[in-house]
Every structure is written in C-alpha cells, then in structure tokens.
Amino acid sequence: MSRDPDGAQWAMQPVWPVVTASEYRADRVVHAVGLLVAPVAVAALVADVVLARSGPLVVLGVAVYGAALLTMLTCSALYNLLRSSPWRDWLRRCDHAAIFAMIAGTYTPFTLLWLPREWGWAFCLAVWAVAAVGIAIKLAWPRRLERVSLVLYLALGWSILPVVGPMTAALSPAGSLLLLAGGGLYSLGVVFHLWNRLPYQNAIWHGFVLAAAACHFAAIALGVAG
C-alpha cells in the first residue's frame, strides 16, 4: 500500500509509488511553470504565423505542434498532481499516451516545413502511424509492454537521424543545435525517469521534459521566423 502527500491511503491495486510532500511540491512547481508559460508561448507563435499571413502548411504544422505540446503538459499535470483522483489509472494512461502524441506533434512542423515536400509528408505520416500504435498500447494495455513502449519512445524520438542532414541544412545553425539539444535532453531525462529510488525523481524528469520542449519550441520559432 502506498501513501499520497496528503496521507490518503490506496487500498486497491495498482499500488502507486510513494511520493513525499516535498517531492510533490517540487513536481507541482515544475508543472506550474509549464502550464503557465506554454499556453502563452503557443498562442503567440500561432498568432505570429497567422498575422504574418504564412502559408497554410506553416499554420498547420505550428497548430498541430502546439496542440500536442499543450495536451502532453495537461495530461502530465492531471496525472501527477491529482494523486487522490478515482480516475488516476486513466489519467496515467492518457499521460503516457500523450508522450507519443507530443513526439509526433513535434516532428510535424519539422517534416512538413523543412524537408522536401515529396517525402516530408510521407515521413510525417509514418511518424504519426507509429505514434498511433504507441497511443493504442498505452490506452488499451497500460501496464503491459512497458519496455517495448520505452524503446518505441526512444526509437520514434530519434527517427530523425536518417534525415538529419537535409533537416539541419534547412534550419539555421542555432535551430539545428536546439533541435538536437532537445532530443538529447529528452533522452537523458529517461535515465531519471527510470531511477525510481532517486529523491525528487519525478520533478527532475519533468524538468528535463520542460527543458527539451523549450529547445524544440525555440527551434520551431526560429525556423518559422527565418
């Protein structure tokens, strides 16, 4: 049996990890930063491309990315902060499924805007197809295939490697560096995600996610502005 920060006990399976009150507060701060900053940043980016009368492909790529980012942050906050919710198991499913949506959503503007159109669309659809499989696994079989899901997260995240040459050639040096830095931060954060015995493990992992998302947001903003 585990205990939440407010002392409420969980008598039913599944048993949730023990989280101290200070760890919960730290994680709450990280999520608060994301939920306060991201909606404003996404709204500003979408407004910028719309007011600049950018093409429909630019608006589509940015809108899909923004929706995926906000979905991931919202699902993560609901699952990690509403620890006494009777819907906690479903919140966990949505949280883990939203990671796949976030990966595919982040790829969308990069593949549609900075890859040759004849195969950029094909690459984008392939990424979303794999993400859909991952989302289905997390929603239907939330506590099975955990290792497979982790490998799928990383493989999908780094599926950019075959096209990293033309991608970085289309972006500015700063944009390319931010793109790769974001991927590196996500991957490094997985170490802390798996390090269950580490104090403040959840807050650290979510801090890496925020930092990586910020890098990718900046890369997209620079690319659109350029």
Residue numbering of the annotated binding site for Zn(2+): 206
Q: At residue 11, what are phi and psi to the nearest 5 degrees?
A: -95, -15
Residues in the annotated binding site = 206
d(CA 128, CA 90): 22
206 and 30 Cβ atoms separated by less than 8 Å: yes
Residue type at 217 in one-letter notation:
F
d(CA 194, CA 154): 13
Sign, CA torsion 216/67/32/135: negative
Among 213, 183, 182, 210, residue whose Cα is nearest residue 27: 210
The token pair that represents 147 in the structure block: 């290792």
